[in-house]
Amino acid sequence: MRRPGKINWQRYPQFIIFATVFLYPCWLFAGQDGRTMQVGNIRIQYDLTEEENALKVASILQTVLPRMEQFYSTDLPRGVRIVIVSDEEMFFTIIGHRLPAWVGAVYIPDQKTILLKSPRWKGTLFDMRKSLVHELSHAYFHERFSRQSLPLWFNEGLAELISEGGISMDAGIELAKAIWFRHLVSLADIDSLFQFSAPRAQLAYIESLSAMVFIQEQLPNGDSWPDFLSHVATFGLENTLKNRFGWDLIDFEIKWYNWLRHKYRWFILLNFDYFIWLLLIVIFMLAVVRRYLMNRKRLRQWEREEQWLFGDSEYYPNDPEGFDKR
Ligand SMILES: [Zn+2]
């Protein structure tokens, strides 16, 4: 499963206080026991056993950082670090057990730290790459928009856009199911992502991504994300939407919803699981109808046989003058 696994900690100050006071020493201890590697302004902190993964993270950073800098038109300050966590116990010691189990990678703005699960115990290298890019996006977002109060769907949507690139077929099917069964999450509700179950959180991530794809489709030729984000950094999201497209946030949500419905509801046809279930239900119903018709036919036949044997049959009617009058 793709993330659930990403959370933006700037919305949970109580955890940041808890992490600073109680968990930071434990974290430092973990660092002293391991090694570090520097890539640009980012320090990678890892266990001896994670050397290979640390090298992979360094290699990913070298490719991704210039792209991120261009996208967000900003650089990361010194002191940002990535901790590769080797086991589940350490991960949950750091983030706490009161968080949903689906939490994967984490960015903690106060510590300028990304916690990354090692593929040695969770997921694959590919998952680690996507998680890293997603959390890096949060780090850049925080740096770029630290003075703005922006909705979580916008933050998560950009992180998903950069790490996923676009809406996959599976994601499209999830959107179609949510459209047909009317359980789309409203953009405002995505602010409560932290309290969602794993499937609802996954849908919220896909919807956030789709909102970004929708904005991308509205950007005129020659315009680009860096220009759009510069406007957001200066004027805020709502004013940018108004200036660029003439919409307030409610207009935006209505337009996005209509676009989503028009573009993705037909993805339900690609949901083979749905069709297998549908086929099984149809076969079951046909079997029930066939059995009912056969039973009815058999009953009629018995009725006819009874009438033939005991009279009152339309085929062997009682003849008032006949032998059946005895
Ligand atoms: Zn996230």
Dist. CA 7 → ligand 1 center (Å): 4
* Averaged pLDDT, 31-44: 84
Predicted local distance difference test score (pLDDT) of residue 95 = 80
117 has pLDDT over 50: yes
Predicted local distance difference test score (pLDDT) of residue 239 = 96
Q: Which residues in the chain belong to E strands, given as ranges?
A: 6-8, 35-39, 42-46, 80-85, 105-108, 113-117
pTM of the model: 0.75
Dist. CA 141 → ligand 1 center (Å): 11
Predicted local distance difference test score (pLDDT) of residue 22 = 46
3 state DSSP class of 170: helix
Dist. CA 204 → ligand 1 center (Å): 11
Dist. CA 183 → ligand 1 center (Å): 21
* Averaged pLDDT, 284-301: 88
Dist. CA 298 → ligand 1 center (Å): 64
Topology classification of domain 1-144: Zincin-like (3.30.2010)
7 CB neighbour count, 10 Å cutoff:
27
Tell me which H or E stretch contains 18: helix 13-18
Dist. CA 160 → ligand 1 center (Å): 8
- The answer to whether the CB of 214 falls within 8 A of the CB of 183 is no
Predicted local distance difference test score (pLDDT) of residue 248 = 95
- The answer to whether the CB of 174 falls within 8 A of the CB of 209 is no
pLDDT tens string 230-288 = 999 999 999 999 999 999 999 999 999 999 999 999 888 887 776 677 788 888 889 88
- The answer to whether the CB of 104 falls within 8 A of the CB of 4 is yes
| φ, ψ dihedrals at 120, nearest 5° | -70, -25
Dist. CA 295 → ligand 1 center (Å): 60
Dist. CA 205 → ligand 1 center (Å): 8
Dist. CA 251 → ligand 1 center (Å): 25
Dist. CA 42 → ligand 1 center (Å): 19
Dist. CA 254 → ligand 1 center (Å): 24
3 state DSSP class of 234: helix
Dist. CA 319 → ligand 1 center (Å): 89
Q: Are strands 6-8 and 105-108 parallel, antiparallel or unpaired?
A: parallel
| φ, ψ dihedrals at 39, nearest 5° | -130, 110
Half-sphere exposure of 117 (CA within 13 A, CB side): 26
Predicted local distance difference test score (pLDDT) of residue 26 = 46
Dist. CA 68 → ligand 1 center (Å): 15
In percent, how much of the chain has pLDDT > 90? 57
Dist. CA 3 → ligand 1 center (Å): 9
Determine the Cα–Cα distance for residues 98 and 101; give it in Å rounded to an integer: 9
> How does the average pLDDT of the chain come out, rounded?
85
Annotated domain spans of the chain: 1-144, 153-270, 272-325
- The answer to whether the CB of 162 falls within 8 A of the CB of 68 is yes
DSSP 88-138: HHHHHHHH-TTS-TT--EEEEGGGTEEEEE-TTTSS-HHHHHHHHHHHHHH
Q: Name which residue leads in pLDDT, 184 or 28.
A: 184
